[in-house]
Structure 1
Amino acid sequence: MSTKGETSGTMAEKPAFQVIVLGPTGGPREDSVTGILVRSTSTKWSSNSVIAVDAGTLLAGIIRLLERYIPECRDDQGMMTSGPFQGLELPCSTAQANAAHVFREIIGAVLITHPHLDHISGLAINTPILEAGNGPKPVAALPSVLSALKNHMFNDVIWPNLSDEDGGAGLLTYQRLVEGGNPRFGRGDSRGYVRACNGLLTKCLSVSHGRCKQRYHPESGTHHRVGSTVFSDHQLMLPSRAISVDHTDGSFYSPARSPRMLPSNPKEPVMATVESSAFFLRDHNTGSEIIVFGDVEPDSVSMGIHNKRVWEAAAPKIATGKLRAIFIECSYNDSTDDSYLYGHMCPRHLVSELSVLANRVTEVQDSTTGEKKRKREPPVETGSEQVSPRSKRTLSSPADKGRTPESPAEPRSHPNESFETPQIPKADMGDAMGNPDTGTSVDATLPLEGLKVYIIHIKENLTDGPHPSDQILRELQDHGEAAHLGCEFFIPDPLEGIWI
């Protein structure tokens, strides 16, 4: 398994996508937070041929890349001859001016997974340089995400209203995506997909990014936080000033409470799931696809089953070789307890999620070939301690599990009740070794073979020691090998392009 992202020239098959990870981290540095550029290689850098998925880092990342490669990798006609922007003709002299050109002319739309600052700050800061002659830049997302941008970012308080709604400046236009895809568009494998930019189609599925508190709203008589990214039965637009969210007890993104744990007093806060997104991106020319996740937590600690829907949609595409890569976060290493993940992934959980995907791929393959279905299990420790001891502790109550260092223990209503943090079950080594009963070979136990998994949103520790990515990658490789998944894990290099 590889330690760095694949770059130009490493694929035998002609790449359908080029991906540039401008911001591979989840902070705390503000200049490298999440921002990804994607284009179809068939469009050859034409106007509006690139999409940005999230925009925590946007112009700053483009400038950083151009400063590295200009002027050494630029010919007399202004064409970039190498580097991630190879083949792009740049009309200006400086990196700054050319970056503005890329933002205005080449990036056709911005897809936002969820409206946390490390995913939208670049969009807010960069947007004023757009020129009216180009028309408004599309910002595509789920309705709840756009509601949050309208109410809490582009609201003439936190930042000017630069959108073309509610009397704004008209530099941005909101494109509300249908969760799960719009079935009125596309046919066959492309049903539900909508145009993202020249050469690329997209379909968005919602996922969970932890949970937050919602307070009772006296005007509606319900608990909800309007204009936010919270799963809700109501898509009402109410004044944001009427909504109060309690941050004081440290329960933001705490995977502690059951969704059925409603307070006895209806006016007390209740927990709600924070909505994020997974974008399926489809190359219109070849039908190949990749998935780019926003921040996401494992289903095993979530209030609902959301990732499984993504894996159900992805499995047939992997079985047919159409889905080439997944970009997904893994913010912390395995020493992090579940109660401190705050709606994020660590290696043990990510490999467990990928094992769910692998199971589904095996089922799809079996249904196609008519073979006996083989039940795969998620991975486990095989000779070494792969799961953090802190994740194995028995907790006295769900409330204890969600406490942060700043939050006091909540009263225990059932002192004798206990439960275990979700574990990675033991792998079925009979299947892994190709037992005669299964009718399979060792090769058949690698259902994700050929799939590339790129790790983003790693939380930096800003210490003199090794970068956290080193340990995270090592743990992912160990878990993945034990689980016999077959996929490869990569840490993208923000100074290189990835060809898929």
Structure 2
Amino acid sequence: MPITNIFRKNISIFQCAVFIFILKSLIASSTAYAIIKNNAMPTDSLDILVLGTEGGVSSDNLSAFLIGPNDQSYSVACDAGSLLTGIESAVSQRNFSNISVPQDYPLSKAGYVLREHIKGYLISHAHLDHIAGLIIASPEDTKKPIYGSENTIGLIRDHYFNWQAWPNFGDQGNKPHLNKYDFQTLQNKQWQSIPNTSFKVAALPLSHSGVESNAFVIEYKQDLIVCLGDTGPDSVEKSNNIKALWQFIAPSVNKGRLKAIIIESSFTNDTPDDKLFGHLTPKYVNQSLADLAKEIKTPSLLTNLPVIISHVKPSLKKGANIELQMRSELASSNTLKVNFILPKQGQRIHLYALTNNN
């Protein structure tokens, strides 16, 4: 039988589209690797280390990303739903290869990364899938700041680190204070430096079905990364929070400073609006990015921009493959031709390679 007939009989149009999308991604990844191999990345470029990608149902792979210079001198965490499990996954994949643990250090490399490498936590909101890893790992952690809105800091202080749900490792709230974590309240759109790093961060509110979530705009020298917590689309949430975020970063985007966006896509497009519960779908991700394009002078600046998808909700249905469906739906309305990335836990994303692969 001719091979073309075999393909016609056994591969659906949907499967072909997914295959082509994955093939293109592999080619792009190979090109990016060649850039890394043949042209050493400057030490002032940024990497993103993926500690967790999902929004449930399992407890070992929840939203968390480390952001830091590619020389791995330090990092800050954007959310910490998974922490130690994500670090251990990255260590097993040799994605902390630039970190040398002192010979006399008493802990494993994973312990060293947790205690010494991470310089602070940016917590978008206090839902457990964004903070559970931090809470569980806190007895083994070292002194460092936790950043969030006044609402988020209050919930962490009063409902987690309160000597009832968990010992108070903070410096506020129910006494005694163990003073391991310094609670730092971020004011809307106000830049704040993160000690022991070259980072500045500003927080902006997001609407999460009645819960205040936040986006973090992280500045490193001339580069920006935007990390969004959970959010519904403005049109469904009856808000303008995502639009306000895009307006805030638009001047920097116009200067070519935006290097990546981390944004959630919890559900697939077949989820009705009244079942989103303050989350996005591929359709709404693309619509939100189109709104960003309207706020900047040159929409082509978004071409090939790394857009990292977080908080994907797995399905327990038999035969379901949410990742493949998500990839296909993101690609089908990707008119801006951004570079959608659905990462794996433990993966290191080299932004220099991706943003210079044009």
Contact preservation (8 Å) 1:204, 1:280: yes
State the distance in 2 between where 1:145 and 1:8 align.
39
Aligned to 1:497: 348
Aligned to 1:317: 252
State the distance in 1 between where 2:268 and 2:25 align.
16
Aligned to 2:214: 277
1:60 aligns with 2:69: no
SS of match in other structure, 2:333: helix
Aligned to 1:202: 201
Please give the residue correspondences for 1:369-388 in structure 2 after superposition, counting only pairs within 5 Å. Answer: none
Give 1:295 deviation, angstroms. 0.6
Aligned to 2:355: none
State the distance in 1 between where 2:180 and 2:105 align.
24
Larger Rg: 1
Give 1:161 deviation, angstroms. 1.0
Give 1:173 deviation, angstroms. 1.0
Aligned to 1:472: 326
Give 1:9 deviation, angstroms. 5.2
1:17 aligns with 2:42: no
SS of match in other structure, 1:495: coil
State the distance in 1 between where 2:305 and 2:141 align.
37
> Among 136, 141, 153, which residue is 2:148 paired with?
141
Contact preservation (8 Å) 1:91, 1:98: no
> Among 120, 123, 126, which residue is 2:131 paired with?
120
Contact preservation (8 Å) 1:200, 1:282: yes
Please tell me the residue identity of whatever aligns with 1:170. N
Please tell me the residue identity of whatever aligns with 2:270. S
* CA shift in 2, pair 1:298/1:197, >3 Å: farther
State the distance in 1 between where 2:319 and 2:105 align.
35
Contact preservation (8 Å) 2:186, 2:192: no
State the distance in 1 between where 2:89 and 2:288 align.
34
Ranges in structure 1 where 5+ consecutive residues have no aligned partner: 70-82, 182-191, 212-273, 366-444
Aligned to 1:393: none
Give 1:116 deviation, angstroms. 0.2
SS of match in other structure, 1:88: coil
Please tell me the residue identity of whatever aligns with 2:83. L
State the distance in 1 between where 2:107 and 2:55 align.
25
State the distance in 1 between where 2:195 and 2:321 align.
34
**Share of identical aligned residues, percent?**
30
State the distance in 2 between where 1:101 and 1:447 align.
38
Please tell me the residue identity of whatever aligns with 2:214. S
CA RMSD of aligned residues (A): 2.4
Give 1:61 deviation, angstroms. 1.2
Q: TM-score, normalized by length of structure 1?
A: 0.60
Aligned to 2:312: 458
Please give the residue correspondences for 1:231-380 in structure 2 after superposition, counting only pairs within 5 Å. Answer: 274-284=211-221, 287-361=222-296, 364-365=297-298
Give 1:469 deviation, angstroms. 1.7
Give 1:98 deviation, angstroms. 1.9
Aligned to 1:33: 62
Runs of 4+ aligned residues of structure 1 deviating over 4 Å after TM superposition are 1-15, 92-96
SS of match in other structure, 1:480: coil
Contact preservation (8 Å) 2:78, 2:124: yes
State the distance in 2 between where 1:470 and 1:464 align.
15
Aligned to 2:9: none
Contact preservation (8 Å) 2:259, 2:305: yes
Please tell me the residue identity of whatever aligns with 1:335. D
* CA shift in 2, pair 1:8/1:38, >3 Å: farther
State the distance in 1 between where 2:103 and 2:82 align.
22
Give 1:305 deviation, angstroms. 1.1
Please tell me the residue identity of whatever aligns with 2:118. I
Give 1:317 deviation, angstroms. 2.0
State the distance in 1 between where 2:267 and 2:106 align.
34
SS of match in other structure, 1:351: helix
1:89 aligns with 2:100: yes
* CA shift in 2, pair 1:193/1:169, >3 Å: closer
Give 1:450 deviation, angstroms. 3.1
Please tell me the residue identity of whatever aligns with 1:204. A
Aligned residues between the structures:
320
Give 1:162 deviation, angstroms. 1.0
Aligned to 1:170: 179
Aligned to 2:166: 159
State the distance in 1 between where 2:106 and 2:305 align.
35
Contact preservation (8 Å) 1:282, 1:289: yes
Contact preservation (8 Å) 1:324, 1:450: no
* CA shift in 2, pair 1:199/1:145, >3 Å: same
State the distance in 2 between where 1:278 and 1:39 align.
17
* CA shift in 2, pair 1:292/1:64, >3 Å: same
State the distance in 2 between where 1:95 and 1:197 align.
23
| Cα deviation digits, residues 86-134 of structure 1 (max 9, x gap) | 2110246999722111111111101100000001111111011135xxx
The structure richer in helix per residue is 2
SS of match in other structure, 2:209: strand
Contact preservation (8 Å) 2:262, 2:307: yes
SS of match in other structure, 2:131: helix
| Cα deviation digits, residues 130-154 of structure 1 (max 9, x gap) | 35xxxx2210111110001111111
State the distance in 2 between where 1:474 and 1:94 align.
46
SS of match in other structure, 2:309: strand
| Cα deviation digits, residues 360-409 of structure 1 (max 9, x gap) | 11xx34xxxxxxxxxxxxxxxxxxxxxxxxxxxxxxxxxxxxxxxxxxxx
